Amino acid sequence: MTAASASSELTFPLAALLAEPAGSRRDYAFEGIRLDLGDDLVLAQPVAGHVRVSRTNRGVFLRGSVETALLLECSRCLRPIELALNLALSEEVLPALDIVTGKQLDPAVEPEIARLTDHHELQLEPILREAIQLAEPIAPLCRPDCPGLCAVCGETLETGPHEHDEASLDPRLEALRAFRVDADAETG
């Protein structure tokens, strides 16, 4: 699935909903969506989920859930991992045009709030992309107790302790070998 088709599958017409009273709603489901998340992030599974779009006095409010998985690398042992994501969406979206007059509304008034298109369509793709990008962990792990790699040889520490000859230390740093921290003095 190309990015263009993902964009069209995640675009929902809301002109009729905007003409209805506050509290009216529509439900939309999607699955098999492939998104381009940028250079550093890759989906391991297509995006699937559903959203409920409710009419408010200002625009619409969407609430839903999304499931996917990311291809990442363990920050300790550098193995490839697949991280499942189950995300909750909760977002206010305002119209770009006044539904009655057709006059352009000023997006600078509330620039951080998502906007409908000029045709009163909800483009869900940028909202999903941002939610997935924000869910990426800073330091993903293959498992919580991953021992990582040996700092000397680079082999995985999962196989057990590593024995290495004591490397010659730079003579300027030799004095640090005798340095000991008094933990009681540090904590007061």
Query: Could you tell me if 113 and 31 lie in one domain?
Result: yes
Residues 169 and 127 placed together within one structural domain of the fold: no
Do 61 and 101 share a domain, yes or no? yes
Residue 39 in this model has a pLDDT that exceeds 80: no
- Domain annotation covers residue 146: no
If asked whether residues 52 and 106 sit together in one domain, one would say yes
If residue 135 lies in a helix (H) or strand (E), which one and from where to where? helix 125-135
pLDDT of residue 4: 46
Q: Is residue 112 part of a domain?
A: yes
pLDDT band for position 121 (50/70/90)?
A: confident
Has residue 121 been placed in a domain? yes
Quick one: 82 and 41 in the same domain? yes
| Size of the chain, expressed as the number of residues it contains | 188
10 shares its domain with 86: yes
Residue 48 lies in a domain: yes
Instruction: In whole angstroms, give the CA distance from residue 148 to residue 28.
Output: 43
Residue 147 counted as domain residue = no
Work out how many domains the chain is built from and give that number.
2
Same domain for 177 and 128: no
Same domain, 128 and 173: no
8 in a structural domain: yes
Read off φ and ψ for residue 170, nearest 5 degrees: -55, 130
Q: Which helix (H) or strand (E) holds 157?
A: none
In this prediction, residue 27 has a pLDDT band, given cuts at 50, 70 and 90, of: very high
Domain range spanning residue 164? 157-187
What is the structure's pLDDT at 7?
A: 64
CA distances (Å), 116 to each of 59, 121, 156, 164, in order?
9, 5, 50, 62
Q: What is the mean pLDDT of residues 79-103?
A: 85
Q: How far apart are CA 86 and CA 67, in angstroms?
A: 5
Tell me, yes or no, whether 145 lies in a domain: no
Which residues 6+ apart lie within 8 Å of 137 measured at CB?
72, 83
- Single out the residue of 48, 33, 41, 44 nearest to residue 130, CA to CA: 41
Task: Assign 37 a pLDDT band (cuts: 50, 70, 90).
Answer: confident
Say whether both 33 and 82 belong to one domain.
yes
Q: Model-level pTM?
A: 0.74
The answer to whether residues 122 and 162 belong to one domain is no
> Per the domain annotation, does 148 fall within a domain?
no
